[in-house]
Amino acid sequence: MNRKILITTLLLLIVIPGMTTAFTYNSKEFKQIIGQLDMQGHADHELSTCSVKKIYYDEVIEMLNGGKTETEIIQSYVDEYGQAALRTPGGGTSGWIAWGMPAAGVGIGSVIVGVWLRKLTVKKAESKLETKEEWTSEVEKEIAVKTFDEERRKLF
């Protein structure tokens, strides 16, 4: 009898914490997973009016409460729908190209601009106007010159 009580108590101790930590729509883990899923194009829809999104939400909650990890849940969707299950490109060549191309674009663009600048730039002695310490900034110089002009026009 005592053994039965002991086993039941132990089982309850194992199950109760699991029950109290049941996942909800507000759980961080849930939000993290759901944020990665495209949900057949319904990811940005409003939950209350989108039945497809609701199904996904409930499925993910069920899987989380069933003890599945984030990786397992995501993988289960990728197994079912392929890369199209995710909101962003995943691994593989296709994913690398998707993520790498903007960086490559910036890199190639920088090289082009660099070469262009080199071609466009001529070494020239510093202009006298620029080296004068009369003006502390370009703006100050321009504003003052314009203001002098206005004053001149007023006077003459």
Partner 1 sequence: MYLIGNISIYLGIVISLYGIIANIVGIKKKSSKWLESARGAVLSLAFVASIASFLLLYLLGTSQFQYKYVASYTNESLPMAYKLTAFWAGNAGSLLLWAFLLALYGAMVVFSKEKKNPMMPYVSSILMVNILFFFTVMALNANPFEMTDKIPADGKGLNPMLQNPGMILHPVTLYMGYVGLAVPFAFGIAALILKRMDSEWIKLTRRWTLLAWLFLTLGNVIGGWWAYLELGWGGYWAWDPVENASFLPWLTVSAFLHSVMIQERKNMLKTWNVSLIILSYILTLFGTFLVRSGILTSVHAFGDSNLGTYFLVFMAFMMLFSLYVVMTRYGLIKKDSSPIEAYFSKESSFLLNNLILVAAAFAVFWGTMYPLISETFTGTKVNVGAPYFNKVMAPILLVLIVLMGICPLIAWQKAVFEKFMKNMLWPLAMGVATAIILFAFGVKGIYAIIGLSATSFMFGTHLQEFVRGINARRKATKENILKAAFKLTVKNQRRYGGYIVHIGIAIIAVGVISSHTYSTEVLKTVDVGNSIKTGDYSLKFNELTEHTKNGNGIVVADIDVTYKGKDIGKIKPEKIFYETWPEPSTEVSIKTNWSQDLYVVLSSWENKDKVTFMVKVNPFVSWIWIGGIIMVIGTAFALIGGRPTTFRYQINKGISKVGG
Least Å distance between CB 28 and partner 1?
11
Does position 35 bind partner 1 by CB under 8 A? Answer: yes
DSSP state letters, 5-32: HHHHHHHHHHHHHHHHT---TT-HHHHH
- Judge contact between 72 and 59, C-beta under 8 A: no
| Sequence-separated contacts (24+) of 76-82 with Cβ below 8 Å | 77/37, 81/40
Least Å distance between CB 63 and partner 1?
18
- Segment interacting with partner 1, rule: CB under 8 A, options 11-19, 60-68, 69-77, 125-133: 125-133
Does position 2 bind partner 1 by CB under 8 A? Answer: no
Specify the residue for token string 């969707």: 77
Of the pair 9, 110, the CB lying nearest partner 1 is at: 110
Least Å distance between CB 8 and partner 1?
33
Candidates 28, 71, 150, 155; binder of partner 1 (CB under 8 A) is 150
Specify the residue for token string 């289960």: 76
Alpha-carbon distance of 86 to 36, in angstroms, equals 6
Q: Closest by alpha carbon to 56, among 75, 33, 72?
A: 33
The site for partner 1 (CB under 8 A) is made up of 24-26, 31, 35-36, 38, 41, 43-49, 82-84, 86-89, 92-95, 97-99, 101-102, 105-106, 109-110, 113, 116-117, 120-122, 124, 126-127, 130-131, 136-140, 142-152
